[in-house]
Each structure stands twice: as structure tokens, then as C-alpha cells.
Amino acid sequence: MPPINPPKLMGVINLSPESMVADSIALSELDILARAAWLQAQGCSIIDLGARSITPTAPKISDAEEQRRFTNPLRLLTQHGYKVSIDTWSSNTVLAALAGGAATINFTGSQLSIEALNATASAKARLILTYMPYGDAYLMRGADPIPYRMTNILEHLEPRVREARAAGIKDVVIDPNLGIIHPTTEDHAKIQLQNRVLWNLDRLRALGCPILLYAARKPEPLARILFASNVLHARPDYIRTHHPDILNQLMAIDLHDAQG
């Protein structure tokens, strides 16, 4: 069954050369504009810039380096009319992103500062709040696993949604963070945990926010397609993806079957 309302697509451009998703990396102006144009042609209304890799083996970088990496690409893309999101867990980077014209903050940390919340409200920017029980992806590397359960996700996100609304942010989106499962988790268990969240997504709707899901990039092509299909049929409002072409093919099949 196709989604009642097709999700808005958020296409990823990685500015981090350490990213494990090599085909989403774009470092030169020509490559950034080419990938942004392809993402837009595939239906992505938001371009999500990530400048710091969460790959467990990637070298750690500072907030200053993260900001250096995205400053010119953000300016370039906004000048060309793209709606740009900045993916970061740093409140200081949020402030720099808003000053540079970011329309969306994809906050992947645990706690956004009051200053950053107020700045997001003043800029009338969209705020995506992500389930992140470890603080950030760097801290997660040395932390003990925390169970990935819908109850934990709700308990984490509910007070943060309340804080964002109290700051005056009108457009708050929530993300259960399908990619946050601890790297020590065995593959079979990881897939089951991710699917349990997808199967019970209506519980998250109790927070009254649009929902974003990440169509995580699986290494095998068939696994990538299957997981994208699972995400699509959970009926989120937004899907963040490196490969919108896969989602478009799946939606086209659904539409064809519905009309047939």
C-alpha cells in the first residue's frame, strides 16, 4: 500500500571525506552543485549537509573544523536557491549554521543549548530533534550499550520537544534515529530492533510532531532496497536518504499497483 501522503525527501551531501558512504561525498564546488542538482531532480526538497562523520573509526574533528567544512558549501547552495539543513550535534555549530542561512537544523546531539534554541526560533528555522541517549556519536564510541526501545525514545524526545516549543520553535520534527543502535549489537538483533520501531511508529505520533526516518544505507543492494521499503511503509513525514532513487522506484511500484 503506498503512503497516503508521499514523504518529503531530505537528500544527504557528506562534506566529510571520512564518510563510509563514498557516493554521497562531495568536496569541490562542482561536485557539491552536481550532487545537489541530482538530489533535487530525485525529489529532495531539503539538502542535508553533514561535515562530521559518525563512522566509529573516523578521526574526531573539532567544532571549528566542522564549521569550516560547511561554511562555503552552505553559502554556495543557498545562493543557488536550495533549502539547506545542517546535521550537527554541536550547539555552537547550530549558531554558525543559522548565521549562514540554514533553513533546517538536524540536531543529532542530546541537548541543545538555550541560546541555540532561541536562535532557531528567531530564524524561524525547522528543528529536527534526534534520539541520542549517548550525548553524541563520539561519546557513544566508549559508552556501554543503551537498549534501543520505543519507551526510551519517547522518554528522551518528549522533554526536548517541550523545550523547543517553549522557546517558540514552530516547526519541530522528531527522529527516532534508526542508525543509533550501538555498534556492538549483533546484525540480526539490530535489524529486529530497527523494525520494531518502524512497526510501532504510531506510538511516536503521540508527541504531535512530524516524524523523520533515516533510510539507512545497508551494504548489500537487496538489503538497502528492503530497508528503504520498510521505512517508506512506516509512513513517516520525512525520509533522510543518500539514495532517493531507490525510494522513488519503490513509490512508483506502489502507485502502479494501486492504479492497476
Q: Confirm if 54 and 137 have CB atoms less than 8 A apart.
A: yes
Give residue 260's pLDDT: 62
CA-closest candidate to residue 11, choices 220, 198, 238, 226: 238
**Residue type for 241, please?**
T
The full set of domain ranges for the chain reads 8-259
Give residue 109's pLDDT: 96
Give residue 187's pLDDT: 85
SS3 labels along 13-56: EECCCCCCCHHHECCCHHHHHHHHHHHHHCCEEEEEEECCCCCC
pTM of the model: 0.95
Residue carrying the nine cell digits 574533528: 61
Give residue 36's pLDDT: 98
Give residue 4's pLDDT: 60
Give residue 110's pLDDT: 95
For the chain (260 residues), the mean pLDDT of every run of 10, in chain order, is: 76 92 92 98 98 90 97 98 98 98 97 98 98 95 92 97 98 94 86 92 96 85 90 96 95 80
3-state secondary structure of 175: strand
For the chain, the straight-line distance linking the first and the last C-alpha, in angstroms and rounded, comes to 12
Fold of 8-259: TIM Barrel (3.20.20)
CA-closest candidate to residue 249, choices 55, 241, 60, 129: 241
Q: How far apart are CA 13 and CA 4, in angstroms?
A: 28
Q: Confirm if 160 and 207 have CB atoms less than 8 A apart.
A: no
Radius of gyration of the chain (CA): 17
Q: Confirm if 232 and 252 have CB atoms less than 8 A apart.
A: no
- Cβ neighbours for 206, distance < 8 A, ≥ 6 positions apart: 154
Instruction: Please provide residue 155's backbone torsions phi and psi, each rounded to the nearest 5 degrees.
Output: -65, -30
Q: Which helix (H) or strand (E) holds 130?
A: strand 126-130
